[in-house]
Amino acid sequence: MEPEKTQNAKKVIFSAIQPSGTITLGNYLGALKNWIGLQDEYDCIYALADLHTITVRQEPAKFRRNALEAYALLLACGIDPQKSPFFVQSQVSEHAQLAWILNCYTQFGELQRMTQFKDKSQKHPDNINAGLFTYPSLMAADILLYQADLVPVGVDQKQHIELTRNIAERFNGLYGQTFKLPDGYIPKTGAKIMSLQDPTHKMSKSDENVNASIAVLDRPEDIMRKFKRAVTDSEACVRRAPGKDGVNNLMGIYTCVTGRTDEQIEAEFAGKGYGDFKAAVGEAVVEHLRPIHEKFDEYIKNKDYLEACYAQGAQKAEAIARKTLRKVMKKVGFLQQKF
The closest alpha carbon to 88, from 330, 317, 323, belongs to: 317
Q: Which amino acid is at 280?
A: A
Q: Rounded to an integer, what distance in angstroms lies between the CA atom of residue 213 and that of residue 205?
A: 6
Q: Which of 74, 5, 72, 84 is nearest to 41 (CA)?
A: 84
Is 205 catalytic? The answer is yes
- Detail the DSSP E strand segments found in the chain: 12-17, 43-48, 86-88, 150-152, 183-185
- Find out whether 246 and 230 touch, Cβ atoms under 8 Å: yes
Catalytic member of 120, 180, 226, 278: 120
Order of strands, edge to edge, in the sheet holding 43-48? 86-88, 43-48, 12-17, 150-152, 183-185
| 202 catalytically annotated | yes
Q: Is 338 a catalytic residue?
A: no
d(CA 205, CA 25): 9
Distance in angstroms (rounded) separating the CA atoms of residues 249 and 193: 7
Active-site residue (options: 62, 123, 188, 205):
205
H, E, C per residue of 50-71:
HHHHCCCCCCHHHHHHHHHHHH
Catalytic residue, from 33, 180, 202, 278: name it.
202
Separation of alpha carbons 224 and 95, rounded Å: 41
Active site members: 120, 202, 205
